[in-house]
């Protein structure tokens, strides 16, 4: 399980350090793709396969299903950690998430999210204001 929040800079070549706490769980190769809320989702191969199988079951006749599947898979790249503990994030993914200098890497259970620092700070501020309401809405899910 991934958890925690870490700040790292991304260099001009698109390389960012993956927190050592996350490296072992990610494995040798893993998948980075466009996520929701303008961040990047990073999945270990096993989790990616589970998600891939779920997305394959979506009906092709549904426009939203086709759109979401395209969005998710077209941005996906397989990555590996280099000897310095970094991954290289391709330019289209950096552009999507607005990654240019300061970044935040967070653990979210089965995945890692990579955020531009200012986007993450804005998201946290907005969410804090409505956290009680969000929690109330999730009571139906036995949380």
CB 103 within 8 A of CB 6: no
Ordered domains of the chain (ranges, CATH): 2-141 (3.40.1550.20)
Predicted confidence pLDDT, tens digits, the chain (143 residues): 999 999 999 999 999 999 999 999 999 899 999 999 999 999 999 999 999 999 999 998 999 999 999 999 999 999 999 999 999 999 999 999 999 999 999 999 999 999 999 999 999 998 887 877 877 777 776 65
Q: Using alpha carbons, list the distances in angstroms from residue 62 to 20, 35, 58, 68, 69.
A: 41, 21, 8, 10, 11
Q: What pLDDT, in 10s, does the model give residues 36-63?
A: 999 999 999 999 999 999 999 999 899 9
Q: Using alpha carbons, list the distances in angstroms from residue 79 to 4, 13, 18, 39, 97.
A: 21, 15, 11, 16, 17
Determine how many CB atoms are found less than 10 A away from the CB of residue 82.
12
Residue with tokens 């929701």: 36
């Amino acid at each position: 399980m991934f958890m925690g929040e870490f700040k790292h800079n991304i260099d001009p070549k698109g390389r960012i350090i993956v927190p050592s706490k996350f490296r072992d769980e990610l494995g040798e190769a893993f998948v980075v793709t466009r996520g929701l809320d303008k961040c990047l989702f990073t999945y270990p191969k096993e989790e990616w396969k589970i998600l891939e199988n779920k997305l394959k079951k979506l009906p092709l006749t549904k426009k939203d299903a086709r759109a979401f599947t395209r969005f998710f898979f077209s941005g996906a790249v397989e990555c590996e950690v280099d000897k310095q503990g970094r991954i290289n994030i391709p330019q289209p993914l950096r552009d999507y998430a607005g990654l240019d200098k300061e970044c935040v890497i967070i653990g979210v259970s089965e995945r890692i999210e990579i955020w531009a620092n200012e986007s993450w700070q804005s998201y946290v501020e907005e969410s804090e204001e409505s956290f009680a309401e969000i929690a109330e809405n999730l009571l139906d899910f036995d949380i």
